[in-house]
Amino acid sequence: MSKIEEVLSHYMEGHHESLIPILQDIQLAEGYLSEEAIVRIGSFLRMSTTKIYGLATFYDRFRFYPGGRVHLRICHGTTCFINGSSAVITAVREALGIEPGQTTRDGRFSYELTACMGGCNDGPLVMIDGEFRTHVRAEDIPEMITKLKAVADLK
Amino acid sequence: MQFTIEVNNRSIRAEKGETILSALNRNGIMIPTLCRMAEFTPTGACRMCVVEVEGRDRLVTACSAPVEEWMKIQTHSPRVIRARKTIVELLLANHPDDCLYCERNLDCELQRLADQLQVRERRIRASKIKPRRDQSSPAIVRELSKCILCGRCIRVCEEVITATSIDFMGRGSSTHVGPAMDRDFNFSSCIHCGQCVLVCPTGALHEKHYLSEVQEQLSSDNVIRVIQYSPLVPWALAGELGVKYNRDFDRVLNAVLRKIGFDKVFLSGTGTDILITELADEILRRQESGDKRNLIVSACPAWVKYCEQFYPGLLPILSTLKTPQQISGAIIKSAVLPDDDHQRVYTVSVTPCTAMKFEARRDSMTRKGISDIDTVLTVRELARLIILYGIDVSNIGPEAADEPLALRSSASLMAETAGGITESVIRSLFVKAGNREADRIAAKKLRAAGSFRETTVTAGGGTFSVAVVDGMKGFEKLKQMLDGGTVYDLIEVMACPGGCVNGGGMQPAGSREAVRQRSRFVWQTNDQEAVRGPEQSASVAALYGEVFEECSELADKTLFHTRFDKREVLL
């Protein structure tokens, strides 16, 4: 059974209210929402793919492209900004050579900017594959990326 | 229950349960609206209709708030006017300043509001939306920078047409309206009905123009330029050009089109007559052989695409007959003026429809790579062409159309309104059975309001059950009936509510009542015309008697038929 079918097996067909939980589960299982997944959800819930895509694009959390093997989420919120997240973002951009939302050509990295993740006391905050790094400084970034390359290569 | 409320320090009567807006409108007070559409549940999203209600801190949206007995309302106080003006100014802040070059210049709701509220300077500045123009669809163009996100197109597409091809994408300042996966329109489940074009307040959605193509052909040598128009076009065109319509205008249009430079003027209505004849024959054939099967009319190209993508299972019961436009086109390019080495024939068709633009380009509508109809224009486009060529329609005498597609019966005009094809086919069945008077009761049932109508008629020896779907909302009911095992001898599906009288190429009707008014015009004209059905039309007799005999593909009628295939789109 494909990952999509495995997720759908936990839900009832045609129940529109399951849409967001299904999208979340599929993103968790596949890392992103593929066109194939959205079309399948559409036929499962008997909803237009346009509606599903429209709803999913409303939320920053959903991605529509396969991310890198290591995915960074950099907080773009107010407190992290005051604590210097802009410098962190610039450092990541320089280290990886890509814009937010893109994936490096070798498939190792992708990163995105997110709204407040609720760790304002410990900013700037970076989430790496679901784990938080607190008090991140711009000067730490090159070393961090080097270490993460090894992590990505193990995946 | 009626009660009195105070508006602008005067009392007016209001009805319990109605909105503030409807109470005001009934009492002669107009309030600007933008996101509101008649007969839709109000959303109060644009906040253009705000009024001041005493005792409430915030301004209240008149379109969605119910009127209450204690209310004291100010509709045009300085605070209200300032609020409305600010909304328009905010909408204009990132709007492209290209009104002079815009499709909807002088016919734009945003422009009108800005004028009414006397916006005379740019007070609020914001960066302009990046221009994005999606011309991928053969029928409808999207210009995203002109969109003000009122959401009317989205609601029509979902609630009336049920295709749900467009929705809001993204959030905040990056919100825009687009089809699934934010692809271009040609990949979407759009059925090209053009209802979204009719409700768009700005130039963000409009039909694709083919006028430059027509102009080029009009000025080139060695081309025989042929134009045909649908039965409703003269009436709709008179409205578009702002001249009074009378029955002579039908024939004046022939002269106008010749003045523009068309060599031959034909009527698509003759094609409709042939469609009706063929449909009646098919039904009788089935009746005689005891072949009881559903038959769905395929005369609405928007419905055909809807069926191909959403219900491919119904394709086997879809009639393979082409639409009137394509039947006429096939006759013209095969028998009347064959396209060969000696002559190049360029055919234009004018319709009240946007989906016909798509239909004319279907693979199955071409022969040896040549399409039967080269260009499809809407009524709006034809009006522009006439103005561009400087023709004064009020000063031209009537002329007849060209043989052999020179006449149409009133049955073909009936086909422009939902249920009309069915009525015309019934009329033909009666005539064929030797009974000259059509069943008035059936006609009454088929003209009733509602999106799904059905009736049974007895003509000659046979009983025929028919159903009409008037707007895709009624399709659900039809689907239930079909799933329940009901068999209809004829099913007519019209994607636009009301039929072609409310087509995407017409002037926006604005309300269901206005659409019905147009249908009434069709019914009245039908009662007045002498040639009631294809059987009485000299053109049809001449075509079947002589013209078709000269062309084998027409004689065996293969040219009248097409095929439909399952369509893979993002649903």
> For A34, which residue in chain B has the nearest alpha carbon?
B181
Quick check: bond before A124 cis, omega within 30? yes
Ranges of residues in chain B with a pLDDT under 50 are: none
> By the 8 A CB rule, do B511 and B38 touch?
yes
A54/B181 Cβ within 8 A: no
Q: What is the per-residue pLDDT for B437?
A: 66
**Is the same domain home to B420 and B287?**
yes
Q: What is the spatial distance between Cα B252 and Cα B397, in angstroms, rounded to a whole number?
A: 6
**Is the same domain home to B417 and B366?**
yes
**Residue type (1 letter), B525:** T
**Is the same domain home to B226 and B200?**
no
Residue B26 burial (CB count, 10 A): 13
Query: Could you say which of A39, A57, A58 has the minimum Cβ distance to residue B570?
Result: A39
Domain end residue (candidates: B159, B179, B207)? B207
Please give the C-alpha separations between residue B448 and each of B442, B462, B498, in angstroms, as whole numbers: 10, 24, 11
Q: What is the spatial distance between Cα B550 and Cα B142, in angstroms, rounded to a whole number?
A: 45
In the sheet with B462-470, reading across from the earlier edge strand, the strands are B452-459, B462-470, B490-494
**Is the same domain home to B243 and B354?**
yes
The answer to whether residue B303 sits within a structural domain is yes
Interfacial residues of B (vs A; Cβ cutoff 8 Å): 158, 164-171, 179-182, 188-189, 570-571
**Is the same domain home to B240 and B127?**
no
Domain with residue B470: its CATH number is 3.40.50.1780
> For B181, which residue in chain A has the nearest alpha carbon?
A53
A53/B169 Cβ within 8 A: yes
From A101's Cα to the closest Cα of chain B, the distance in A is 14
Residue A132 has, within 13 A of its CA and on its CB side, a CA count of: 13
**Is the same domain home to B191 and B232?**
no
A49/B169 Cβ within 8 A: no
Number of domains making up chain B:
3
Q: What count of CB pairs under 8 Å joins A to B?
A: 51
Phi first, then psi, for residue B425 (nearest 5°) are: -65, -40
Q: What is the spatial distance between Cα B212 and Cα B368, in angstroms, rounded to a whole number?
A: 25
> By the 8 A CB rule, do A61 and A71 touch?
no
> By the 8 A CB rule, do A109 and A148 touch?
yes
Residue B189 has, within 13 A of its CA and on its CB side, a CA count of: 25
**Is the same domain home to B231 and B289?**
yes
SS3 at position B148: coil
Cβ contacts of B169 on chain A, cutoff 8 Å: 53-54, 57
Please give the C-alpha separations between residue A151 and each of A109, A110, A147, A154, in angstroms, as whole numbers: 11, 14, 7, 5
> By the 8 A CB rule, do B477 and B327 touch?
no
Phi first, then psi, for residue A107 (nearest 5°) are: 80, 5
Which residue segment(s) compose the domain that B69 sits in?
A: 2-76
Cβ contacts of A48 on chain B, cutoff 8 Å: 158, 164-165, 167, 180, 189, 571
Return the DSSP state at A121: G
B170/A58 Cβ within 8 A: yes
Cβ contacts of A52 on chain B, cutoff 8 Å: 180
The answer to whether residue B8 sits within a structural domain is yes
In the sheet with A126-128, reading across from the earlier edge strand, the strands are A109-114, A70-75, A126-128, A131-133
**Residue type (1 letter), B413:** L
Residue A14 burial (CB count, 10 A): 10
CATH architecture of A70-154: 3-Layer(aba) Sandwich (3.40)
pLDDT digits (tens, 9 = 90+) for A71-98: 899 998 899 999 999 999 999 999 999 9
A48/B181 Cβ within 8 A: no
C-alpha closest to that of B167 among A108, A130, A53: A53
Mutation choice for B interface testing from A34, A35, A46, A48 by most B CBs within 10 A: A48
Q: Could you tell me the two tokens for B557?
A: 């009628």
A42 touches chain B (CB under 8 A): yes
Residue B146 burial (CB count, 10 A): 25
Question: Domain map of chain A by residue range?
Answer: 3-58, 70-154
Helix axes A85-96, A141-154, angle to 10 degrees: 50
C-alpha closest to that of B228 among B180, B263, B193, B176: B263
From A58's Cα to the closest Cα of chain B, the distance in A is 5
Q: What is the spatial distance between Cα B418 and Cα B468, in angstroms, rounded to a whole number?
A: 7
Q: What is the spatial distance between Cα B399 and Cα B255, in angstroms, rounded to a whole number?
A: 5
SS3 at position B14: strand
B188/A42 Cβ within 8 A: no
Q: What is the per-residue pLDDT for B175?
A: 92
Cβ contacts of A55 on chain B, cutoff 8 Å: 167
Handedness of CA B171, B177, B181, B184 (dihedral sign): negative
**Is the same domain home to B159 and B39?**
no
A38/B181 Cβ within 8 A: yes
Residue A8 burial (CB count, 10 A): 22
> For B185, which residue in chain A has the nearest alpha carbon?
A50
Could you tell me the end-to-end alpha-carbon distance of chain B, in angstroms, rounded to an integer? 46
SS3 at position B229: strand
Q: Could you tell me the two tokens for B453?
A: 């109508």
B166/A53 Cβ within 8 A: no
Angle, CA B470 vertex, CA B517 and CA B445 arms, to 5°: 75
Domain end residue (candidates: B47, B76, B105)? B76
From A3's Cα to the closest Cα of chain B, the distance in A is 21
Q: Could you tell me the two tokens for A19?
A: 């849409």
Q: What is the per-residue pLDDT for B549?
A: 85
> By the 8 A CB rule, do A50 and A39 touch?
no
B571/A39 Cβ within 8 A: yes
Domain end residue (candidates: B178, B207, B236)? B207
Residue whose pair of structure tokens reads 């080139």 in the numeric block: B220
From B163's Cα to the closest Cα of chain A, the distance in A is 8
Q: What is the per-residue pLDDT for B26?
A: 92
Cβ contacts of A49 on chain B, cutoff 8 Å: 180-181, 570-571
Q: Is A129 buried (19+), middle (13-18) or exposed (0-12) by CB count in 10 A?
A: middle
Mutation choice for B interface testing from A41, A50, A62 by most B CBs within 10 A: A50
Q: What is the spatial distance between Cα B506 and Cα A22, in angstroms, rounded to a whole number?
A: 42
Q: What is the per-residue pLDDT for B341?
A: 67
Cβ density class B165-202: b for 16+ within 10 Å, e for less: bbbbbeeeeeebbbbbbebebbebbbbbbbbbbbbbbb
Handedness of CA B405, B406, B409, B415 (dihedral sign): positive
**Is the same domain home to B220 and B199?**
no
**Is the same domain home to B170 and B246?**
no
**Is the same domain home to B458 and B509?**
yes
A38 touches chain B (CB under 8 A): yes
Torsion, Cα of A2, B310, B314, B296 (10° steps): 180
B170/A57 Cβ within 8 A: yes
**Residue type (1 letter), B215:** Q
Residue B448 burial (CB count, 10 A): 11
**Is the same domain home to B30 and B171?**
no
The distance from CA B489 to its chain's CA centroid, rounded to whole angstroms, is 26
Q: What is the per-residue pLDDT for B212?
A: 94
> For B183, which residue in chain A has the nearest alpha carbon?
A50
Query: Could you say which of B168, B171, B180 has the minimum Cβ distance to residue A49?
Result: B180
Q: What is the per-residue pLDDT for B52?
A: 96
From A18's Cα to the closest Cα of chain B, the distance in A is 19
Q: What is the per-residue pLDDT for B25?
A: 94
> By the 8 A CB rule, do B58 and B162 touch?
no
The answer to whether residue B85 sits within a structural domain is no
Q: What is the per-residue pLDDT for B136?
A: 94
Domain with residue B201: its CATH number is 3.30.70.20
Phi first, then psi, for residue B140 (nearest 5°) are: -125, 130
Q: Could you tell me the two tokens for A143?
A: 């070393």
Ranges of residues in chain A with a pLDDT under 70 are: none
